[in-house]
Chains A and B, each alone.
Chain A
Amino acid sequence: MKKIILILSLIIIWCMSVGYAQYGKLIGNVVDKETKEPLVGATIVVENTGYGASTDVDGKFVIINIPAGIYNVKISYVGYQTELIKDVKIVAGLTRELNVQLLSSGVQAEEVVVIAERPLIEKSATNAVRLQTSDEIQKLPVRGIQNYLSIQAGVVNQNGTIYIRGGRSDEVGYIVEGTNVKDVVGSDDRHDYYGGLVSIIPEALEEISVQAGGYSAEFGGANAGIVNQTFKTAKDVFNLTVQVETDNFGNYPGKKVLGSHSYGYSDYIITANVPVSSKIKLFGAFNNNFQRDRRIWFWSGADFGYLKDNGLSGGTKGDSAWVKWDEGNVPGRSNNRYTFNGTLTFDYNPLQIRLAGGFSWGRNKNNNLIRNIFNLDRVTVLDNSNLLLSGKVSYFLSKSTFLEINVGYVDYREKAYDPNFGDDLIKYTDSVAAAEHGWQFWSLTQPPPNYNFNGFEFRRPGAVLTALYTKDRQSSVSGSVALTSQMKNHEIKIGGSFEYRTISHYDIDTRTIYSNAYANPDIVRDKEAYARMLRALSQVNNYGFDEFGNPINSGPDGPKHPYFGAVYFQDKMEFDDIIINAGLRYDKMNLCGWNFQSINDLGYDHNEYTLRTVRSGKIVEYVEPRLGFAFPATERTVFHLQYGKFVQAPALYSLYKSRAFAVYIFEGGHFFPDPVGFNVDPVRTTQYEIGFSQQLTDNVAFDITGFYKNIEGQLQTAYFPQPANSPVNSYYAYINGDFENVLGVELTLRMRRTKRLQAQFNYTLQDARGTNSYPNGTISLLNTGGTPPSMVVPLDFSQAHRGSISMDYRWGKNDGGPILEQLGINMLINFNSGHPYTRATGSGGQQAVDLGALLNDDDARTRTPVEPINSSKTPWVYQVDLRIDKTISFGPTNLNVYVYVQNVLNTKNVINVYYRTGNAYDDGWLSNPLASGTTIQNPAYGKTYVDLYRVINLENNQHQFRLNGFVNFGSPRQIRVGARLEL
Chain B
Amino acid sequence: MMNKYYLCKMRCKKMQIILLTFFTVLLLVCSGCVDIDNPNVKVIDMRTLVKFVYLGDVADSISIIIDGSLVAKLEKGKESEFINVQAGSRKIVLSNLAVSDTFYQSFIPDQKITFYCIYNSGSSEIINMSLFAHPTYAGVIQYVPGSVLVRFANFTNGTVSYTVIADTVSGAERTYDDLAFGDISNNGKYDTLKIKSITDKIIYPRFVVLGTSNDTIVGVTTVSDVAGRYTIALFGNGEYKVVKED
* Residues of A in contact with B (beta carbons under 8 Å apart): 1-2, 5, 8-9, 276-277, 280, 282, 340, 344, 355, 357, 359, 361, 383-385, 387, 389, 411, 413-415, 422-426, 431-432, 434-435, 440-444, 469, 471-473, 504, 506, 508, 513, 517-518, 520-522, 524-527, 530, 534, 547-551
- The answer to whether A521 and B34 touch across the interface, beta carbons within 8 angstroms, is no
Q: How many contacting A-B pairs (Cβ < 8 A)?
A: 136
Q: Mark B65-101, 1 if CB is under 8 A from A, else 0.
A: 0000000000000000000001111000000000000
Give CA–CA (A376, B87) in the complex, Å.
35
Q: A518-B108, A549-B41 are in contact. Are A444 and B135 (CB under 8 A)?
A: yes
Q: Which of B8-16, B121-129, B169-177, B212-220 contacts A (4 or more CB under 8 A)?
A: B8-16
- The answer to whether A547 and B88 touch across the interface, beta carbons within 8 angstroms, is no
Q: 10 tightest A-B contacts by CB?
A: A435-B139, A549-B40, A522-B88, A521-B87, A521-B88, A521-B46, A413-B34, A423-B38, A359-B29, A432-B137
Contact of B36 among A340, A424, A444, A471 (CB under 8 A): A471
- The answer to whether B40 and A508 touch across the interface, beta carbons within 8 angstroms, is yes
Give CA–CA (A282, B19) in the complex, Å.
12
Give CA–CA (A423, B34) in the complex, Å.
12
B144 beta carbon closer than 8 Å to chain A: no
B167 beta carbon closer than 8 Å to chain A: no
- The answer to whether B33 and A411 touch across the interface, beta carbons within 8 angstroms, is yes
Contact of A526 among B26, B43, B141 (CB under 8 A): B43
Instruction: Kindly report which residue of chain B lies nearest to residue A425, judged by CB atoms.
Output: B40
Give CA–CA (A340, B29) in the complex, Å.
10
Chain A residues in 8 Å Cβ range of B30: 387
Give CA–CA (A548, B42) in the complex, Å.
6
Chain B residues in 8 Å Cβ range of A414: 34
B110 beta carbon closer than 8 Å to chain A: yes
- The answer to whether B33 and A524 touch across the interface, beta carbons within 8 angstroms, is no
Supply 10 A–B pairs (Cβ within 8 Å), ascending by A: A361-B34, A384-B34, A422-B38, A432-B135, A435-B137, A521-B87, A522-B89, A524-B43, A530-B41, A530-B43
Instruction: Kindly report which residue of chain A lies nearest to residue B11, judged by CB atoms.
Output: A277
* Residues of B in contact with A (beta carbons under 8 Å apart): 11-12, 14-16, 18-19, 22-23, 25-26, 29-30, 32-46, 86-89, 107-110, 135, 137-141
Q: Which of B34, B38, B43, B135 has the most CB of A within 10 A?
A: B34
Chain B residues in 8 Å Cβ range of A506: 36, 40
**Interface residues of A: mostly helix, strand, loop or mixed?**
mixed
Q: How far is the CB of A747 from chain B (nearest CB, A)?
A: 44
Give CA–CA (A441, B134) in the complex, Å.
15
Q: A5-B15, A426-B41, A513-B41 are in contact. Are A385 and B139 (CB under 8 A)?
A: no
Q: A5-B15, A344-B18, A548-B42 are in contact. Are A440 and B33 (CB under 8 A)?
A: no
Q: A387-B29, A387-B33, A444-B140 are in contact. Are A524 and B46 (CB under 8 A)?
A: yes
Chain A residues in 8 Å Cβ range of B18: 276, 280, 282, 344
- The answer to whether B40 and A548 touch across the interface, beta carbons within 8 angstroms, is yes
Chain B residues in 8 Å Cβ range of A548: 39-43
Chain B residues in 8 Å Cβ range of A547: 41
Q: How far is the CB of B161 from chain A (nearest CB, A)?
A: 34
- The answer to whether A549 and B38 touch across the interface, beta carbons within 8 angstroms, is yes
Q: Which of B18, B26, B33 has the most CB of A within 10 A?
A: B33
Contact of B46 among A415, A513, A517, A549 (CB under 8 A): A517
- The answer to whether B37 and A361 touch across the interface, beta carbons within 8 angstroms, is no
Chain B residues in 8 Å Cβ range of A508: 40-41
- The answer to whether B110 and A525 touch across the interface, beta carbons within 8 angstroms, is no
- The answer to whether B109 and A344 touch across the interface, beta carbons within 8 angstroms, is no
Chain B residues in 8 Å Cβ range of A277: 11, 14
- The answer to whether B36 and A473 touch across the interface, beta carbons within 8 angstroms, is yes
Q: A426-B42, A444-B135, A518-B46 are in contact. Are A344 and B22 (CB under 8 A)?
A: yes
Using A385-B33, A424-B40, A525-B86 as known contacts, list a sample of 16 further A-B pairs with CB atoms less than 8 Å apart, ordered by residue number in A.
A8-B19, A9-B19, A359-B29, A389-B26, A431-B140, A432-B110, A432-B137, A441-B141, A443-B140, A443-B141, A508-B40, A513-B41, A548-B40, A548-B42, A549-B41, A551-B37
Give CA–CA (A355, B45) in the complex, Å.
51
Chain A residues in 8 Å Cβ range of B19: 5, 8-9
Give CA–CA (A426, B41) in the complex, Å.
7
Chain A residues in 8 Å Cβ range of B38: 422-423, 549
Give CA–CA (A587, B76) in the complex, Å.
84
Q: How far is the CB of A262 from chain B (nearest CB, A)?
A: 29
- The answer to whether B137 and A431 touch across the interface, beta carbons within 8 angstroms, is yes
Q: A1-B12, A383-B34 are in contact. Are A441 and B40 (CB under 8 A)?
A: no
Chain A residues in 8 Å Cβ range of B32: 359, 361, 385
Chain B residues in 8 Å Cβ range of A2: 12
Q: A8-B19, A441-B139 are in contact. Are A524 and B39 (CB under 8 A)?
A: no
- The answer to whether B109 and A1 touch across the interface, beta carbons within 8 angstroms, is no
- The answer to whether B89 and A432 touch across the interface, beta carbons within 8 angstroms, is no
Chain B residues in 8 Å Cβ range of A444: 110, 135, 140
- The answer to whether A521 and B109 touch across the interface, beta carbons within 8 angstroms, is yes
Chain A residues in 8 Å Cβ range of B110: 432, 444, 518
Chain A residues in 8 Å Cβ range of B86: 521-522, 525
Give CA–CA (A518, B138) in the complex, Å.
17
- The answer to whether B42 and A525 touch across the interface, beta carbons within 8 angstroms, is no
Instruction: Kindly report which residue of chain B lies nearest to residue A2, judged by CB atoms.
Output: B12
Give CA–CA (A424, B45) in the complex, Å.
15
Instruction: Kindly report which residue of chain B lies nearest to residue A383, judged by CB atoms.
Output: B34
Q: How far is the CB of A97 from chain B (nearest CB, A)?
A: 36
- The answer to whether B14 and A276 touch across the interface, beta carbons within 8 angstroms, is yes
Q: Which of B36, B87, B89 has the most CB of A within 10 A?
A: B36
Instruction: Kindly report which residue of chain A lies nearest to residue B134, judged by CB atoms.
Output: A444
Q: How far is the CB of B109 from chain A (nearest CB, A)?
A: 5
Chain A residues in 8 Å Cβ range of B140: 431, 441, 443-444
- The answer to whether B33 and A413 touch across the interface, beta carbons within 8 angstroms, is yes
Give CA–CA (A411, B30) in the complex, Å.
9
Chain B residues in 8 Å Cβ range of A385: 32-34
Instruction: Kindly report which residue of chain A lies nearest to residue B12, judged by CB atoms.
Output: A1
Give CA–CA (A86, B87) in the complex, Å.
80
Q: A524-B44, A548-B41 are in contact. Are A435 and B138 (CB under 8 A)?
A: yes
- The answer to whether B43 and A527 touch across the interface, beta carbons within 8 angstroms, is yes
Instruction: Kindly report which residue of chain B lies nearest to residue A389, judged by CB atoms.
Output: B26
Q: How far is the CB of B26 from chain A (nearest CB, A)?
A: 8
Chain B residues in 8 Å Cβ range of A527: 43
Instruction: Kindly report which residue of chain B lies nearest to residue A519, judged by CB atoms.
Output: B108
Chain A residues in 8 Å Cβ range of B139: 431-432, 434-435, 440-441
Give CA–CA (A385, B86) in the complex, Å.
41
